[in-house]
Amino acid sequence: MQRTKGRLADGREIIWYDAGDRHRIPAVDRRDLPEAVTSSQLRRDPLTGEWIAIASHRQTRTYLPPADECPLCPSRTHLSEVPSTEYEVVAFENRFPSFAMNAEALDAVTDGMEQLRAGVGRCEVVCFTSDHDSTFAALTPAQARLVVDAWADRTCELSQLDAVEHVFPFENRGREIGVTLQHPHGQIYAYPFVPPRAAQELAAATEHHSRTGRSLFGDIIDAEIASGERVVTQNEHWVAFVPFAARWPIEVHFYPRRQVPDLPALGDAERDSFATIYLDVLRRFDRLYSEPTPYIAAWQQAPVRRDREVAWLHLELYSIRRGEGKVKALAGSESGQGAFVNDGLPEALATRLREVAR
């Protein structure tokens, strides 16, 4: 893999990723853009202790543009966020970020009921392909592997930023999820804190290790493989299964068989094997119903500076689709209390996903 860095017209960083040993010259962004400045701030919820990002400037972000004005396509017929006329995989700083390293300074409040600080961090967009009409599921294994390498490279670089505590690559796919750009892409949030889901999983893993001396994640993997009832598919390096207490109508978790803290720690064979198993399951998702399945793909990595010894890299893939033409709304119980109710049986979902294999 070759990595080529450049700058966009407003000073944001852009990185091209190319397979093989290609030497790319950074393209020049010819747009007239003002310097990017972000007004994000973080406010601590005194009821939960969670940090909430306030990013009002995101109200003006691009919303469902026509294909011939897509800001993620190469700059061929229009000037886009990617100034080159072609690319394989590209990552760049989000123009409308929730966090930014140059977030406007403010007078931080570090104690009391109303704690406040600047939203310092980084948000990036990762374009999986230059083909506007494609999807991640349509990539070849080699193309998917390049995306994995880009995720790993970005994790490594973002982890070196002093303000960053947790790096979270993810993909939102489908209008039902709330996607505002249809081009195949994902994002990376480099948080200035460890987010609630990661913190909750790691707290459970720490408690389990203190009590048993074993890895919680490893015990889950062993139990799922031994049962086989919820395993969707597996290969030499990875296993994919519907979790015992699945929250979402469609949910599959992917674990490497070897404990690693994050994406950079994966070896070449593990990266190749992930690309193969992930593409397989994504294609099964799309065979469940008459329309492509909307989903969120969320990488759970170790934080940058804590809990790395108990963490176990994994991907949580889930969808709000609960039936043909139906989606699950996060209504009273989920939104009001954070208590999920799943209308389907995890074992039945695993059976369906095995049945739609090709």
The question of whether 208 is a catalytic residue gets the answer no
Strand partners, 3: 17
Known binding residue 156? Answer is no
Known binding residue 132? Answer is yes
Known binding residue 78? Answer is no
- Among the listed residues 185, 237, 253, 314, the single catalytic one is 185
Are 29 and 9 in contact by the 8 Å Cβ rule? The answer is yes
Which residues are documented as binding site? Answer: 70, 73, 132, 183
For the annotated catalytic residues, the residue numbers are 185
Which residues are documented as binding site for Zn(2+)? Answer: 70, 73, 132, 183
